[in-house]
């Protein structure tokens, strides 16, 4: 068929001439200099530095001993626990965050709910570290407000095996900032699901579930995956929160790195570098998995 | 193919009345347009028929079956939306197949039907393309094929062309009409574009403020507007406020001038009316010098020209107000701005509409409403 739209837009006269179209002698590249300077100084160079240090012997020369140490049970266990808590809190925060965001965007929800939710999420997602730990101690700690309140009704959660200072307690604390972070990230993607798609699917006979299975979720999939990877990294790198809360009773990679580099117990900066390198590897693997999964789904996105 | 009946549909959003007891019967295989400015209730009516909104009162019937309480996904109505309604994660073919997939049809059967329909809308070669690889016009063709795939009882179209280029719009509307005729499907079409409605419909329903102003064939709507609103909304119309004169040959009076109108013979003298005169029925002749035309003609001075292609619309300032006159463009060259001209018309041409009492200031001595003034932005 004669395609008028295309014909007109491909005329050379109407081609857009944005300032970003690089021309010979253009100074447009100057705009990205700060970005590359920043990533080089604060991301690439440190990574390179700690990578070489992880293989450097304090007595001179190179060694694999620090990397080998990572496979000792204490360190291996720390990686395992860190991955576990990151996965669990990314999934719990991610899934519940998705549902909360979805519920808030429904058409029958009053308009004031959304700004309230995003403002709260903005605050809660950044409420971490020592203040968050103390907030949880004050509510769910042994003498915490909620603990005492429940005890008054005969439910002594600590007697039933709960403790804030364990993996479970830490998971609950992490979800406090993971869930709102998910809400913040996923709202724009959910808004991208057009009403017309839902109505067209309904019109063609689809139920609500069928719409989400065939259209909604496939479209959301890349953003969901990206959000989960971000949540995973966010949990993996948390330091102050678990430190203040458990003072080391839960074995996590960032806490170990803190221990060996601050030197209060055993100063071993090279081991710290090796642990950090391990972290980089784990995060890189999750990004690669993300990229591979994403590539399978985004055929329809490619321009 | 069954027909469609809307009986006493009433819908209110808070304080705003979107539909005021609307009654409409669409015959089997008929193409009916709902036409009106934005906010007239046409889209609400369509969405109620599709099941996306629920009427506060009234019933909807397809054939003899009452579907008022049938959920939207079981109504078997094909709908084409304004734009961007194709599922972006599916190819053109998968989009068309979607309704059949939901109906658990076998994949071979689905594929056969999809390619048949894509062929019907002239997109046989685009089956494997994703929506973003298609132009706006092509996307709407796929959307049409998708709506038809489920063999709907009624085809609903919600301003399907409004996001397209003018040229594609004209081409596609003719094709929608061709396909609708070919399949003999009952169609309800919503648009704010009068040209679109008049060119493709069997009947046009003009809506304003949730109420039907007039229902009729395109010729009736254009040639015999029944209300002031329709007269102003459809096409360009010279509207002259006048009083019926006691005159056996038929005439009205405006600003002290006698204007010949055959239709006035059937009206009571002294009645306050609006005389409606299309720009294309007025005959314009240049006058030499400052002479008066005499006889029945109205004299005036040319105020402005608007070139519209085959005709040029000339605005003439007359004692009864400014009048719009369409002159063949070749002749318009000889009437320069400021030129003195005479205007005449066949007394059988003007129509009269009774003005409600107290409506004096609604329309000026000779108000001219150009079509674009009434088009929603």
**A-chain residues within 8 Å CB-CB of B103?**
205
Of B98, B103, B135, nearest to A6 by CB-CB distance is B135
pLDDT of residue A298: 62
Instruction: Supply the range of the domain harboring residue A40.
Output: 19-54
Contact B138, B123 (CB under 8 A): yes
Residue A188 Cα, gap to closest chain B Cα (Å): 17
B246 DSSP assignment: -
Instruction: Please tell me whether residues A144 and A292 are part of one structural domain.
Output: yes
pLDDT of residue A108: 86
Q: What are phi and psi of B328, to 5 degrees?
A: -55, 135
pLDDT at B35 over 70: yes
Interface confidence: ipTM more than 0.95:
no
Taking only the tens place, the pLDDT of each residue in B266-312 is 888 889 999 999 999 999 988 875 555 555 678 899 999 999 989 99
End-to-end Cα spacing for chain B: 36
pLDDT-above-90 percentage for chain A = 50
**A-chain residues within 8 Å CB-CB of B123?**
1
Q: Which helix (H) or strand (E) holds A51?
A: helix A45-54
**A-chain residues within 8 Å CB-CB of B143?**
200
**B-chain residues within 8 Å CB-CB of A219?**
88-89
Asked if A204's CB is within 8 angstroms of B102's CB, the reply is: yes
Of B99, B131, B165, nearest to A4 by CB-CB distance is B165
In a mutational test of the A interface, the residue from B51, B89, B91 whose CB has the highest number of chain A CBs within 10 Å is: B89
Strand partners, B314: B305, B325
pLDDT of residue A27: 85
Asked if B135's CB is within 8 angstroms of A204's CB, the reply is: no
How many domains does chain A fold into?
A: 2
pLDDT at B163 over 50: yes
Instruction: Please tell me whether residues A158 and A215 are part of one structural domain.
Output: yes
pLDDT of residue A24: 63
Check which CATH number belongs to the domain holding A178 and give it.
1.10.3720.10
Asked if A203's CB is within 8 angstroms of B79's CB, the reply is: yes
Decide if A60 is inside a domain.
no
Q: Which helix (H) or strand (E) holds A283?
A: helix A269-297
Instruction: Please tell me whether residues A151 and A36 are part of one structural domain.
Output: no
Of B51, B77, B85, nearest to A197 by CB-CB distance is B85
**B-chain residues within 8 Å CB-CB of A211?**
none
Q: Which helix (H) or strand (E) holds B183?
A: helix B166-183
For A53-97, give the secondary structure using H, E and C.
Answer: HHCECCCCCECCHHHHHCCCHHHHHHHHHHHHHHHHHHHHHHHHH
Decide if A59 is inside a domain.
no
Q: What are phi and psi of B296, to 5 degrees?
A: -95, -5
Strand partners, B369: B237
**Closest-CA residue of chain A to B86:** A197
Instruction: Please tell me whether residues A71 and A50 are part of one structural domain.
Output: no
Decide if A94 is inside a domain.
yes
**B-chain residues within 8 Å CB-CB of A299?**
130
In a mutational test of the A interface, the residue from B78, B79, B82, B87 whose CB has the highest number of chain A CBs within 10 Å is: B87
Decide if A278 is inside a domain.
yes
Instruction: Please tell me whether residues A144 and A219 are part of one structural domain.
Output: yes
Q: What are phi and psi of B325, to 5 degrees?
A: -130, 130
Residue B20 Cα, gap to closest chain A Cα (Å): 24
In a mutational test of the B interface, the residue from A1, A3, A303 whose CB has the highest number of chain B CBs within 10 Å is: A1
Residue A9 Cα, gap to closest chain B Cα (Å): 11
Decide if A296 is inside a domain.
yes
Query: Helix axis angle, A167-191 relative to A217-236, nearest 10°?
Result: 140
Instruction: Please tell me whether residues A46 and A112 are part of one structural domain.
Output: no
pLDDT at B363 over 60: no
pLDDT of residue A297: 65
Asked if B87's CB is within 8 angstroms of A200's CB, the reply is: yes
Q: Give the integer Cα–Cα distance in Å for B2 and B5.
A: 10
Q: What is the mean pLDDT of chain B?
A: 88
For A229-279, give the secondary structure using H, E and C.
Answer: HHHHHHHHCCCHHHHHHHCCCCCCHHHHHHHHHHCCCCCCHHHHHHHHHHH
**Closest-CA residue of chain B to A204:** B99
pLDDT at A65 over 80: yes
Q: Measured between alpha carbons, how far is residue B26 from residues B23, B31, B59, B100, B187 in Å?
A: 10, 8, 14, 27, 8
Q: Which of B89, B13, B26 is nearest to B53 (CA)?
A: B13
Q: What is the mean pLDDT of chain A?
A: 86
Q: Give the integer Cα–Cα distance in Å for B248 and A278.
A: 105
In a mutational test of the A interface, the residue from B48, B49, B72, B73 whose CB has the highest number of chain A CBs within 10 Å is: B73
Instruction: Please tell me whether residues A32 and A159 are part of one structural domain.
Output: no
Instruction: Please tell me whether residues A211 and A126 are part of one structural domain.
Output: yes
Instruction: Please tell me whether residues A249 and A158 are part of one structural domain.
Output: yes
- What DSSP string describes B169-230? HHHHHHHHHHHHHHHT-EEEEEES-HHHHHHH-SEEEEEETTEEEEEE-HHHHHH---SHHH
Decide if A61 is inside a domain.
no
pLDDT of residue B364: 37
Asked if B88's CB is within 8 angstroms of A300's CB, the reply is: yes
Asked if B72's CB is within 8 angstroms of A202's CB, the reply is: yes
Decide if A266 is inside a domain.
yes
Instruction: Please tell me whether residues A103 and A50 are part of one structural domain.
Output: no
Mean pLDDT of B140-161: 95
**A-chain residues within 8 Å CB-CB of B82?**
196
User: With 0-12 CB in 10 A as exposed, 13-18 as middle and 19+ as buried, what is B367?
Assistant: middle
Which residues of A fall below an 8 Å CB-CB distance to B?
1-6, 8, 194, 196-197, 199-207, 210, 214-215, 218-219, 299-301, 303
Decide if A13 is inside a domain.
no
Of the three residues A6, A30, A54, the one that is the final residue of a domain is A54
Taking only the tens place, the pLDDT of each residue in B50-66 is 999 999 999 999 999 99
**Closest-CA residue of chain A to B92:** A300
- Per the structure block, which two tokens stand in for B246? 């006691």
Asked if B73's CB is within 8 angstroms of A215's CB, the reply is: no
Asked if B72's CB is within 8 angstroms of A207's CB, the reply is: no
**Closest-CA residue of chain A to B141:** A1
Asked if A204's CB is within 8 angstroms of B98's CB, the reply is: yes
Compute the half-sphere exposure of residue B193: CA atoms within 13 Å on the CB side of its CA.
16
pLDDT of residue A19: 46
pLDDT at A60 over 90: no
Residue A286 Cα, gap to closest chain B Cα (Å): 25
Across the A/B interface, how many CB contacts are shorter than 8 Å? 96
pLDDT-above-70 percentage for chain B = 92
pLDDT at A11 over 50: no
User: With 0-12 CB in 10 A as exposed, 13-18 as middle and 19+ as buried, what is B296?
Assistant: middle
Taking only the tens place, the pLDDT of each residue in B244-274 is 988 888 899 998 888 999 988 988 888 999 9
Residue B310 Cα, gap to closest chain A Cα (Å): 23
Cβ contacts of residue A53 below 8 Å, gap of 6+?
Answer: A269, A270, A273
Residue A90 Cα, gap to closest chain B Cα (Å): 26
pLDDT at B374 over 70: no
pLDDT of residue A8: 35
Contact B145, B120 (CB under 8 A): yes
Residue B50 Cα, gap to closest chain A Cα (Å): 7
**Closest-CA residue of chain B to A219:** B89
Instruction: Please tell me whether residues A35 and A104 are part of one structural domain.
Output: no
**B-chain residues within 8 Å CB-CB of A201?**
87, 98
Q: How confident is the model at residue B333 (pLDDT cuts 50, 70, 90)?
A: confident
Taking only the tens place, the pLDDT of each residue in A202-240 is 999 999 999 999 999 999 988 898 899 999 999 999 999
Residue A302 Cα, gap to closest chain B Cα (Å): 9
Q: Measured between alpha carbons, how far is residue B193 from residues A288, B34, B280, B371 in Å?
A: 52, 10, 20, 10
**B-chain residues within 8 Å CB-CB of A189?**
none
For A103-149, give the secondary structure using H, E and C.
Answer: HHHCCCCCCCHHHHHHHHHHHHHCCCCHHHHHHHHHHHCCCCHHHHH
Instruction: Please tell me whether residues A25 and A122 are part of one structural domain.
Output: no
Q: How confident is the model at residue B359 (pLDDT cuts 50, 70, 90)?
A: low
Strand partners, B190: B34, B158
pLDDT of residue B376: 38
Q: Which of A183, A296, A174 is nearest to A246 (CA)?
A: A174
Contact A201, B87 (CB under 8 A): yes
Contact B251, B261 (CB under 8 A): yes
């Amino acid at each position: 068929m004669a395609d008028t739209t295309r014909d007109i837009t491909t005329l050379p006269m109407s081609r857009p001439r944005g300032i970003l179209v690089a021309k010979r002698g253009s100074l447009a590249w100057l705009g990205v200099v700060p970005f590359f300077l920043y990533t080089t100084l604060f991301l690439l160079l440190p990574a390179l530095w700690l990578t070489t240090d992880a293989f450097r012997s304090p007595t001179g020369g190179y060694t694999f001993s620090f990397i080998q140490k990572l496979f000792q049970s204490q360190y291996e266990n720390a990686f395992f626990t860190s991955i576990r808590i990151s996965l669990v809190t990314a999934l719990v925060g991610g899934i519940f965050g998705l549902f909360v965001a979805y519920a808030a965007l429904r058409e029958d929800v009053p308009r004031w709910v959304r700004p309230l939710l995003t403002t709260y999420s903005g605050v809660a997602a950044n409420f971490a570290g020592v203040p968050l730990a103390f907030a949880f101690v004050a509510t769910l700690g042994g003498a915490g407000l909620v603990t005492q309140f429940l005890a008054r009704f005969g439910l002594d959660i600590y007697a039933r095996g709960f403790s804030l200072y364990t993996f479970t307690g830490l998971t609950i604390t992490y979800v406090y900032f993971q869930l709102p972070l998910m809400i913040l990230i996923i709202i724009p993607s959910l808004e991208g699901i057009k009403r017309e798609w839902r109505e067209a699917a309904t019109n063609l006979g689809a139920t609500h579930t069928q719409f989400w299975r065939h259209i909604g979720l496939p479209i959301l999939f890349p953003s969901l995956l990206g959000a989960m990877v971000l949540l995973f990294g966010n949990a993996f790198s948390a330091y102050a929160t678990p430190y203040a809360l458990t003072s080391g009773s839960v074995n996590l990679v960032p806490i170990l790195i803190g221990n060996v580099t601050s030197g209060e117990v055993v100063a071993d900066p090279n081991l710290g570098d090796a642990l950090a390198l391990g972290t980089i590897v784990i995060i890189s693997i999750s990004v690669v998995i993300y990229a591979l999964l994403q590539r399978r789904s985004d055929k329809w996105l490619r321009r | 193919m069954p027909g469609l009946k809307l009986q006493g549909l009433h819908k209110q959003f808070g304080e705003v009345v979107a539909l005021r007891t609307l009654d409409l019967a669409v015959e089997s295989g008929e193409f009916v347009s709902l036409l009106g400015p934005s906010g007239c209730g046409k889209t609400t009516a369509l969405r109620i028929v599709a099941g996306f909104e629920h009427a506060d009162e009234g019933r909807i019937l397809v054939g003899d079956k009452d579907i008022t309480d049938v959920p939207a996904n079981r109504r078997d109505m094909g709908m084409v939306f304004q734009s961007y309604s194709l599922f972006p994660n599916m190819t053109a073919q998968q989009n068309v197949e979607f309704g059949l997939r939901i109906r658990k049809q076998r994949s071979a059967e689905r594929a056969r039907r999809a390619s048949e329909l894509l062929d019907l809308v002239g997109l046989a070669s685009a089956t494997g393309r994703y929506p973003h690889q298609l132009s706006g016009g092509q996307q709407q063709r796929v959307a049409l094929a998708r709506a038809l795939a489920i063999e709907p009882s009624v085809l609903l179209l919600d301003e399907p062309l409004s996001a397209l280029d003018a040229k594609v719009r004209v081409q596609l509307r003719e094709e929608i009409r061709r396909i609708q005729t070919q399949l003999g499907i009952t169609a309800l079409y919503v648009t704010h574009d009068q040209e679109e409605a008049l060119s493709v419909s069997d009947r046009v329903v003009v809506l304003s403020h949730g109420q039907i102003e007039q229902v009729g064939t395109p010729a009736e709507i254009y040639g015999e507007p029944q209300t002031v609103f329709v007269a102003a909304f459809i096409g360009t119309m010279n509207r002259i406020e006048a009083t019926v004169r006691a005159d056996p040959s038929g005439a009205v009076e405006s600003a002290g001038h006698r204007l010949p109108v055959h239709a006035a013979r059937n009206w009571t003298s002294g009645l306050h009316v609006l005389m409606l005169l299309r720009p294309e029925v007025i005959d314009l002749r240049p006058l030499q010098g400052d002479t008066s035309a005499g006889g029945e003609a109205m004299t005036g001075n040319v105020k402005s020209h608007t070139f519209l292609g085959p005709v040029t619309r000339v605005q003439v300032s007359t004692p009864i107000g400014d009048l719009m006159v369409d002159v063949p463009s070749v002749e318009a060259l000889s009437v320069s701005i400021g030129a003195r001209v005479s205007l005449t018309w066949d007394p059988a041409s003007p129509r009269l509409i009774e003005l409600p009492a107290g409506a004096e200031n609604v329309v000026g001595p000779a108000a001219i409403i150009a079509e674009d003034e009434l088009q929603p932005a």
